[in-house]
Amino acid sequence: MHIYLVRHGDAVSVHPSGDRPLNDQGRREAALMAEFLAHAGVRVGTIVHSGKARAAQTAEILNAGLDGNAKLDVWSGLNPNDPVAPVAERLNRTGSDLMVVGHLPFMAKLVGNLVHCGDDAILELHTTAVTCMLKDDAGMWLIEWLMYPALLGFN
């Protein structure tokens, strides 16, 4: 089983509503990452996100670039400073490939939690970075790969 942990795309620095949407760079990053994921053969039945505009928009762009058939869902507990243990437990009970779109520092801490490094952030996650994690036969999460837009030539 794979989970794809995604930090949302680059967002505007301020917004009147307080809920910052993606900026042009963030939309381009997400589209580029979706193209990479599609070529890599990534398929998920569900993409979950925090409900914040920047995460929801990133999820929508990724879904459209994959095949547009994933169910989009909002999960509570994916906000920047939420505790990671409840989401880690939920992911451990998940039986199918899933994509999770969230925020820093939460996403970096979630990776650490899943690979048993506590709740420390163990990776630098750039905007629209994707961490592919594999659950092995023993039920352990392993980091299979990490991709971010600069590695795909995005400046």
Domain ranges of the chain: 2-9+20-72+82-152
Instruction: Encode 34-64: b = buried (16+ Cβ within 10 Å), e = exposed.
Output: bebbeeeebebebbbbbebbbbbbbbbbbbe
Q: What is the pLDDT of residue 6?
A: 98
Q: How many CB atoms lie within 10 A of CB 113?
A: 21
Overall size of the chain counted in residues: 155
Write the pLDDT tens digit of every residue in 15-34: 767 789 999 999 999 999 99
Residue 146 makes CB contacts below 8 A (sequence gap 6+) with: 123, 129, 130, 131, 132
Q: Which CATH class is domain 2-9+20-72+82-152?
A: alpha beta
Are residues 45 and 70 in contact, defined by beta-carbon separation less than 8 angstroms? Answer: yes
Global confidence as pTM:
0.94
pLDDT by residue for the chain (155 residues), tens only, comes to 999 999 999 998 877 677 899 999 999 999 999 999 999 999 999 999 999 999 999 999 999 999 889 999 999 999 999 999 999 999 999 989 999 999 999 999 999 999 987 777 788 899 999 999 999 999 899 999 999 998 988 76
Give first-to-last CA distance, the chain, whole Å. Answer: 32
Residue in the structure block whose two tokens are 């506590």:
118
Mean pLDDT score across all residues of the chain: 93
